Chains A and B, each alone.
Chain A
């Protein structure tokens, strides 16, 4: 093969010969065929239909009092739902954006300011940050603290200190009515 390639550059007039065309055409068809043959096998390790069927979760928010947090499961992953107080919202909005590794306004992280809904998985290496229970360590910024490698998140779930590269992920969700939210 390498010999063939070097011949091409040495004799440019021969690089368009019939034999080269046939060879390239054969390899191309072979490569396309191999790709088509491999695709079903690769696709088979994607999430199957029964997993995709579990892709949304409905949550009743009515029992969650101001200042409380609950954890719900969506696609097998924990989702933090926090009923924030006015004070928490104000504090979160007052923070200057240039103090954050991943600057994002608090307004952009919620649909309704009192409900903070986010995937409770540290964006560093996938641990679940502490801070959902009143007794948990909440880190230097009063939000969540990941015990694995020490990432501190604030009351808006934004990374403030530690190795995590981005803020806690906000899932797609919509409110069906004032007290019901559909995640996913």
Chain B
């Protein structure tokens, strides 16, 4: 009231004149023009950001109670679960938060694929996103090693051994990763530090991702650019509210797992302390790695298998140049739309194959699915581009929205 007019507002002005944080926030979080036709698939980016913050905060409080030493790591996690006040909650929020983070990011990525959000002028935005995804994979992998259970240990052994496929210097790289000749205390301490460092890198990448996003603003379900003020609405309150609705729904799912099925995504074997002399009978990576694990296993040659696995992720970098169709949204691309869902099904199938033991018929199915995965990017996308006759998108978001309303009436 009076206080705000006489003291607080002049103080904020004083700060803003010297460091424009408030006008920056107003520009990017409040007045920020956002396409007025965004649907709920556009919630997942901000949800992923919220989960990142939850992971960083819970991670900090977990790290307080964790001991990165092979003799203490496993028992320090149990100490956390039994002795620390709400330690179980922090740990289950963090463990399930990891899975949630990947679910959200996968939906976010498929949304980008469907609505053509990776296309010009958003190629770099997409590429930074793929870099974030890679950083997430590294972070998640290192984090999974920290509880020092059987799956931690043997998962770490298998994944780090992938690098031994590199010609000539492969074994040296693996020795560097391990800090010894097997996974041991040196490996654990460096993974702990890496797992703590990487989220800061991800956080900074997210800022760059936002920077690139705010340059050309959000794509939208119609895939046409915002041209007039009638095409956009301010981010606040319209999308802050919409994001909060999505957040409420997401939290119901997330905390449903945390409270009622906290080990749903986990492996029971990880409650057995790491034993360097016994490998569990069935090693599977965390679910979010399964499609790439399936690609790795479907190729009999060690080096080519590893290359294919990494290529499976890195091919996403090239996507903006594989699919050069000028129409962004699959809404107006009848052929691409079908192949999008085929590709989606193929990814799910690869995930399923990755969770099975490597016997027939899974091996053959996995090989076909792997071939299709790469064919989608390298052959199908360019060919669709060449032969598809897209529908004509509306000339503006406003026109599209009005047309849809008329159609509904």
Contact = CB atoms under 8 A, between A and B. Distances in A.
27 contacts: A2-B1, A2-B5, A2-B8, A5-B4, A6-B4, A40-B85, A41-B57, A41-B58, A41-B86, A41-B90, A44-B61, A44-B64, A44-B65, A44-B87, A44-B90, A45-B61, A45-B64, A46-B85, A48-B65, A48-B79, A48-B83, A48-B85, A48-B87, A49-B82, A49-B83, A49-B85, A50-B79
Contact of B61 (A41, A49, A51): A41
Contacts of A50: 79, 83
Contacts, number: 47
A176 B301 CA distance: 75
Interface string B7-20: 01100000000000
A5 B8 CA distance: 13
A2 B89 CA distance: 37
B348 interface: no
Q: Which 10 A-B pairs have the closest CB atoms?
A: A40-B86, A48-B83, A49-B83, A2-B4, A43-B85, A48-B84, A50-B83, A44-B86, A40-B89, A44-B85
Secondary structure call for the A interface: helix
Interface in A15-70: 40-41, 43-46, 48-51
A49 B65 CA distance: 13
- Interface residue tally of chain A, by bracket? 10 to 19
Contacts of B87: 44, 48
Interface residues of B, number: 19
A40 B1 contact: no
Secondary structure call for the B interface: helix
Contacts of B90: 40-41, 44
Nearest to A7: B1
Given A5-B4, A44-B65, A49-B83, 8 more contacts: A2-B4, A2-B5, A6-B4, A40-B85, A41-B61, A44-B87, A48-B87, A51-B83
Interface of B: 1, 4-5, 8-9, 57-58, 61, 64-65, 79, 82-87, 89-90
Given A44-B61, A44-B90, A6 B83 contact: no
A11 interface: no
Contacts of A40: 85-86, 89-90
A41 B84 CA distance: 11
Interface string A87-123: 0000000000000000000000000000000000000
Nearest to B62: A44
A45 B65 CA distance: 9
A6 B1 CA distance: 5
Contacts of B64: 44-45
Contact of B86 (A2, A5, A43, A51): A43
A135 interface: no
Contacts of A43: 85-86
A9 B61 CA distance: 43
Nearest to A43: B85
B85 A5 contact: no
